[in-house]
Amino acid sequence: MLDIKFIKENKDLIALAAKKKHIEFDVEKLLEIDEKRRAIMKETEDKRAEQNTASTEIVKVDGPEKANILEKMKILKQELTDGEEKLKEIMKEWQVLMLQVPNVPDVSVPDGDSDTDNKEVKKWGELPKFDFEPKSHIEIMENLGMLDLERGVKVSGFRGYFLKNDGALLSFAIWNYAMDFFGKKNFTPMIVPSLVRKAPLIGTGMIPQSEEDLYKTQDGDYLAGTAEVPTMGYYQDEILDKKDLPIKFLSFSPCFRREAGSHSKDVKGLIRVHEFFKVEQVVLCEASHEESVKNHEAITRNSEEFMESLGIPYRTVVNCGADLGLGQVKKYDIEAWVPLENKYRETHSSSYFHDFQTRRLNIRYKDADGKTKYVHSLNNTATASPRILVSLVENFQQADGSVKIPEVLQPYMGGKTVIRK
């Protein structure tokens, strides 16, 4: 959410932001509603002031004059009730529109119509050259007893899966390694809830933009699609101490996404599943563009280093306007090489939001001059499983169907160096 004062003073910039992000939003309609809201608020405040004046005057008079004031108060009371009802209705409309205002992307964000227009900014690692016919992660993992898709679908439905034996152990190894790797960078580890109320989802911008991708419970709560959501809700409605900034969380949770609108994409395998696990970097910093940019580059580099330590070839792209969410100012994707598809696939997304999320969640701090400000927020995937297994298994497959375990993961696999039958 942006400040209404900023929106009024920069309506053309908001219109351009919506156009760049390919989001339909009528800023003029919002400003029109805002004018009505302000007018009704003033009218209501004036009526309340009249009512207070009448209450003061009535104790000083009696007889016909008192009766006149009582009649005036009766009329004022009804007018005030009507005004408050009108204000309640206009506030609902205003709040709905305010939640749809797109954040302004950074000037370095390229134009584009879809993720195919994202711009490569870095490439790392040599792509594997096989002297045998390479197999897909599905065939490799099923042959090695690491994966059971058939029973996964039987139990869980479309996109269901079981990881077992070394498939399960490899996932645990990656999570534990990620906690150690990022923990050395002064992140606070947390296991966070997957079941969340609506407020953190509105606060992070997942609602209304991505509500169709969320699972909703019979109690009106939701299953979060990323650990970012509950982590950002942690300090909701709190004032932080400036000396504690930046605050850096490393959050782990199961995640759930309906993948609405992508029913025919990646039907088989572990690229796009409904239930997965994420370790997420979340940072809260001072309300400074420079601080946001510095932290954004840092958390992106953290994940690049993580991929390099695993030995998985990747590239980093800066996302174009059409591939930004409602609240993102700028986003990088890190994409791992998938040999059998002969392409890079996104494994990490790194974003910053300025105060878009924290204004919605009311997370503030007091500056040195005592002024209360909204903190800035950022997040980036540390690792997501089982998607990371796709590139790992396919890149490290051997001619005999076995899979080499990256050296950094071997201590977490009991010293095992190769997964074989």
**Cα–Cα dist 182/103, whole Å:** 29
Active site residue 301: no
pLDDT digits (tens, 9 = 90+) for 211-269: 899 999 999 999 999 999 999 999 999 999 999 999 999 999 999 999 765 555 666 78
Phi, psi (rounded to 5 degrees) for 287: -80, 70
**Average pLDDT score, the chain:** 93
Task: Give the pTM.
Answer: 0.90
- Nearest Cα neighbor of 7 from 71, 72, 101, 93 is 101
Query: 152 to each of 15, 49, 217, 264, 411, how far by Cα in Å?
Result: 46, 66, 22, 18, 29
Question: How far does Cα 197 stand from its chain's mean position?
Answer: 15
Out of 257, 258, 315, 364, pick the active-site residue: 257
Question: CA-CA distance, 47 to 76, in Å (whole number)?
Answer: 7
Task: Please state the rounded mean pLDDT for residues 55-68.
Answer: 70
387 is catalytic: yes
In 3D space, the residue among 174, 186, 211, 194 whose CA is nearest the CA of residue 382 turns out to be: 174
**CB contact at 8 A, 107 and 299:** no
Tell me which of 369 and 113 has the higher pLDDT. Answer: 113
**Residue 321 identity:** G
pLDDT at residue 59, rounded to an integer: 61
Label the pairing between strands 188-191 and 247-256. Answer: parallel
Q: Per-residue pLDDT averaged across 94-108, rounded?
A: 94
- Which pLDDT belongs to residue 261? 57
What pLDDT score does 104 carry? 96
Residue type for position 207: I
Are the C-beta atoms of residues 395 and 388 closer than 8 Å to each other? no
| pLDDT score at 268 | 77
User: Known catalytic residue: 257?
Assistant: yes
The pLDDT of 18-36, averaged and rounded, is 94
Asked if residue 24 has pLDDT above 70, the reply is yes
| Residue 307: band (very low, low, confident or very high) from pLDDT cuts 50, 70, 90 | very high
Q: In this predicted structure, what is the pLDDT of residue 210?
A: 84
User: Is the pLDDT assigned to residue 35 strictly greater than 80?
Assistant: yes
Catalytic residue among 272, 286, 288, 402: 272
pLDDT in tens, 346-358: 999 999 999 999 9
User: What is the 3 state secondary structure string of 287-347?
Assistant: CCHHHHHHHHHHHHHHHHHHHHHHCCCEEEEECCHHHCCCCCCEEEEEEEEEHHHCEEEEE
More confident: 54 or 409: 409
Catalytic residue among 280, 304, 346, 394: 346
Q: Which of 315, 359, 360, 387 is catalytic?
A: 387
Would residue 71 show up in a list of annotated catalytic residues for this protein?
no
- Look at residue 203 and tell me whether its pLDDT is greater than 90: yes
pLDDT value at residue 53: 75
DSSP-derived pairing of the beta strands 364-366 and 314-318 = unpaired
